[in-house]
Chains A and B, each alone.
Chain A
Amino acid sequence: QKEVEQNSGPLSVPEGAIASLNCTYSDRGSQSFFWYRQYSGKSPELIMFIYSNGDKEDGRFTAQLNKASQYVSLLIRDSQPSDSATYLCAVNTVKGGGADGLTFGKGTHLIIQP
């Protein structure tokens, strides 16, 4: 059974600091890794995806993947109050040229304190 684990939080971070969100997954066949942001009452919004070991940067966001440790993380630099949301980690077994259903963690609630 595929499982994705996240600390539910809340994770409280001061404005301007780095927020670090973590995720572990059980299926070693997982190939694609995603971070979605979900505001209360809204739908999940894709913010980052990563396929290869290492770091991937996009603006203030950095996704980190370590397949040997089955670990994915998301760093948010210069955190803003608008970053306050629930962050969902998701994985699937497809890398490209196709799609598959995503397995989601239950999310980490992030609060950025002004």
Chain B
Amino acid sequence: DAGVIQSPRHEVTEMGQEVTLRCKPISGHDYLFWYRQTMMRGLELLIYFNNNVPIDDSGMPEDRFSAKMPNASFSTLKIQPSEPRDSAVYFCASSYGLPQQYFGPGTRLTVT
């Protein structure tokens, strides 16, 4: 079975531009999580969905960040406008209703 799929794998953009990251969870999984990893702060939860509904977005750093899950097989994380401090690796993870979570390969975002 395919694992969690993320695109793009690398994104380089200029400050002020809009960035959209994409995630396809493992088929049948009903939870989807977005995390961000930096050297300074480690791996942090941004938001998660259950059955396409956002459950906890308390980790979203500010209004420039938004996430959607229009259906069970697709989610997006959007940053508008992007800033250099948003540079990080963004991971999507999914789960089938148990605490264990399975991570995608990540998107490395660089904002210049």
Question: In the assembly, what is the distance between CA of A45 and CA of B43, in Å?
Answer: 13
Which residues of the other chain, B, contact A107 by a CB distance below 8 angstroms?
42
Question: Which of the four size classes fits the interface of chain A?
Answer: 20 to 34
Interface residues contributed by chain B, number (CB under 8 Å): 22
Which residues of the other chain, A, contact B91 by a CB distance below 8 angstroms?
43-44
Whether A43 and B103, one on each chain, are in contact in the complex, defined by CB atoms closer than 8 angstroms, is yes
Residues from 46 to 71 in A contacting B, C-beta threshold 8 Å: 46, 49
Per-residue A-contact encoding for B81-103, CB less than 8 Å = 1, 0 else: 00000000001000101111111
Residues from 70 to 114 in A contacting B, C-beta threshold 8 Å: 88, 92, 94-107
Residue of A with least CB distance to B47: A101
CB distance from B44 to the nearest CB of A (A): 8
Whether A46 and B48, one on each chain, are in contact in the complex, defined by CB atoms closer than 8 angstroms, is no
Whether A101 and B102, one on each chain, are in contact in the complex, defined by CB atoms closer than 8 angstroms, is no
Question: In the assembly, what is the distance between CA of A7 and CA of B45, in Å?
Answer: 21
Residue of A with least CB distance to B41: A106
Per-residue A-contact encoding for B33-45, CB less than 8 Å = 1, 0 else: 1000000001111
Q: Is B104 an interface residue (CB 8 A)?
A: yes
Which residues of the other chain, B, contact A88 by a CB distance below 8 angstroms?
43
Which residues of the other chain, B, contact A104 by a CB distance below 8 angstroms?
42-44
Whether B103 and A32, one on each chain, are in contact in the complex, defined by CB atoms closer than 8 angstroms, is no
Question: In the assembly, what is the distance between CA of A45 and CA of B3, in Å?
Answer: 12
Which residues of the other chain, B, contact A44 by a CB distance below 8 angstroms?
43, 91, 103
B residues contacting A by CB (< 8 A) are 31, 33, 42-45, 48, 50, 56, 59, 91, 95, 97-106
23 contacts between A and B (CB under 8 A): A34-B100, A42-B105, A43-B91, A43-B104, A44-B91, A45-B103, A46-B101, A46-B102, A49-B99, A92-B99, A95-B99, A98-B97, A98-B98, A98-B99, A99-B48, A99-B97, A99-B99, A99-B101, A100-B56, A100-B99, A101-B33, A101-B59, A104-B42
